[in-house]
Structure 1
Amino acid sequence: MGYLFLSGGGDKEQTKEIDQAFLKQINLNKPLLYIPIAMDEAIPFDECYKWINSVFKPLGIQEITMWTDLSNKTLEDLKQFSAIYIGGGNTFSLLNAIRISKLDKVLDEYIENEGVIYGGSAGAIILGSNIMTCAHMDANNANLQNFEGLNYIQDYSIWCHYEMEIDSFIWSYIKNYKKTVIALPEDTGIFYRKSGIEVIGTSPAFIFKDEDKLLVQPKPFI
C-alpha cells in the first residue's frame, strides 16, 4: 500500500503545512506529475501549470510534468515520478476522464506498489468511496452514472471545503449513501498509509458516522 495526501481544497497559504508534509514523503530528485484535468474548460491548463509551480517550486520541487491526456498510460510511466498530484475542479468530469482512459486501473497498481498520490479538492474526493459528497458544488456535466470513487481510504467518503453550516448536507448524504464521511476544511488534510490516518494542517477534521460527529485535531507531521 502506498501513501495518500488529501487536502480540503484551500489556497497555497492554507495548504502550506499539508504541502510541506507531502514533500517529506517524496524523492525531490524525481519530477512531480500534475494532473489538472478536473479544470478542463474552467481554467486554461497553462494557468494551472503556473499555479502548481507557484505552490511547489518555493518548497523545493524543481521539476513538474503536467499530463492533460491520460490515455495509454502504464505503471512504468508513473514510476518515473516522485508522486502524482491530482488537482481540483469538477469531480464528475475528473472521475469520468480517469475511467474512460483506464487510468484508474493503473493508479490501482501504482498505489499497491508504494506510490504517493496527493489529491486536492476534487482530486481528494475521487480517492474516497463515493463522490456524491461533491454534488452540492459540482454539476454532473459528464452525465456520470457510477459515483463510486477509487476507494483507497478504508471505505471513507471525502468531503472537501467543509464548513459547519453544511452539516445538514452531510447528514443527508449519509442517510442516502450509508457512508462514513471525513470532512476537511480548506486548511486541513489527511495523510493515509497502511498504519492509519493522520490529520495535518491548521484546523481539525471531522468524521461523520451514523449519527455521530467526531472532531479530530491535527498533529505535528513527522
Structure 2
Amino acid sequence: MGALYLSGGGDSDQTLAIDREFAGELTGGKSLLYLPMAMNPDDISYDACYKWIKSVFAPWGVQDITMWVDLGGKTLDDLKRYSAVYIGGGNTFSLMHNILQSDFHIHLSAFKEEGGMIYGGSAGAIVMGSNIATCIHMDDNDVQLKTRDGLSFLNDFSIWCHYEEENEPLIHQFIQAYRKPIIALSEETGLKIQSGKMEVLGTKPAHFFDRNLMKRVFEPGRSI
C-alpha cells in the first residue's frame, strides 16, 4: 500500500518540511501528476497553478510534473504512469464533485492499494477523510454536491485543514453532528500515513479529537 501525505494548507514556506519529505520519496524516474481542479480557473488560471507547483518542488529536484485538468476517461493504467499524485487545494465540494462524477475515486483507491503515493493539500487532504463537511465554514457548495462522504483513506477520521484554536467550537459541532473523529492540521502541519502508522510532519503539532470531544496533541516527528 502506498504512502498518503496530507498537509493543512498554507504557502510553500509553511509546507516546506512536508514537501521535502514527499519529494524525497519520489522514485522510479516517473513524472509527478498534479491535479489542480479544486481551483476555480476563473479566479486562478491553471497555467498559474502549474507555475506554482513547479516552484514548490523544483528546489527538491522534482522537475518532471504533468498536470491534468479533466478527470473524465482517466483509468488506473493512466495513473500508474506516474510516481505519485498531488491533489491541490481550493474548493472541497468542487474537487469532490469532479472526483465522483468521473469515478476517479475508484482508480485513485486502486492506485494507492497498489503502492502509489498520494499527496493531498488543504481541499486535497479533506477529501481523503471520511466526511468533507469539515470544510463548510470556508467553502461554498456551488456544485450542489449532495453527499458529504469523503474517500475514507484514514478509516473513520475526517480532516480539518487550516486549523486554528478558535476553530474548536466548530470542530465540536461537527463531531456532535456527524459522530466522526477529526485530525486537525494547521498550515504548518502534515501527516504521512503508511502501513497503518501515522507520522506528524512539519513544524507544528497535529490535533486529534475523538467522538467524546477529547483532544490529543502530537508533536512533529511523533509516530502514532
Q: TM-score normalized by structure 1?
A: 0.97
Aligned equivalent of 2:219, options 196, 217, 220: 217
Give the corresponding residue for 1:64: 65
Q: What code does the residue aligned with 2:141 have?
A: N
Whole-Å separation in 2 of the counterparts to 1:220 and 1:176: 30
Matches within 5 A, 1:73-88: 73-88=74-89
Give the corresponding residue for 2:91: 90
Following superposition, the deviation at residue 17 of structure 1 comes to: 0.4
* Mapped pair 1:16 → 2:16: yes
CA contact (8 A) 2:34 2:67 kept: yes
Q: Which moved more, 1:203-212 or 1:20-29?
A: 20-29
CA RMSD of aligned residues (A): 1.2
Whole-Å separation in 1 of the counterparts to 2:28 and 2:64: 9
Query: Runs of 5+ in structure 2 lacking a partner?
Result: none
Give the corresponding residue for 1:163: 164
Matches within 5 A, 1:118-133: 118-133=119-134
Following superposition, the deviation at residue 135 of structure 1 comes to: 0.3
Following superposition, the deviation at residue 24 of structure 1 comes to: 2.1
CA contact (8 A) 2:7 2:191 kept: yes
Percent identity, aligned pairs only, is: 51
* Mapped pair 1:43 → 2:75: no
Whole-Å separation in 1 of the counterparts to 2:12 and 2:190: 13
* Mapped pair 1:33 → 2:33: yes
Whole-Å separation in 1 of the counterparts to 2:35 and 2:170: 29
Whole-Å separation in 1 of the counterparts to 2:109 and 2:9: 23
Give the corresponding residue for 2:2: 2
| Partner SS state of residue 109, structure 1 | helix
Give the corresponding residue for 2:148: 147
Q: What code does the residue aligned with 2:62 have?
A: I
Q: TM-score normalized by structure 2?
A: 0.96
Matches within 5 A, 1:199-218: 199-209=200-210, 210-218=212-220
Matches within 5 A, 1:95-114: 95-114=96-115
Q: Which runs of 4+ in 1 moved over 2 A?
A: none
Q: What code does the residue aligned with 1:200 have?
A: L
Following superposition, the deviation at residue 155 of structure 1 comes to: 1.4
Following superposition, the deviation at residue 30 of structure 1 comes to: 1.3
Following superposition, the deviation at residue 211 of structure 1 comes to: 2.2
Whole-Å separation in 1 of the counterparts to 2:8 and 2:177: 23
CA contact (8 A) 1:28 1:61 kept: no
| Partner SS state of residue 82, structure 1 | strand
Query: Runs of 5+ in structure 1 lacking a partner?
Result: none
Whole-Å separation in 1 of the counterparts to 2:149 and 2:171: 17
CA contact (8 A) 2:175 2:181 kept: yes
Give the corresponding residue for 2:192: 191
| Partner SS state of residue 144, structure 1 | coil
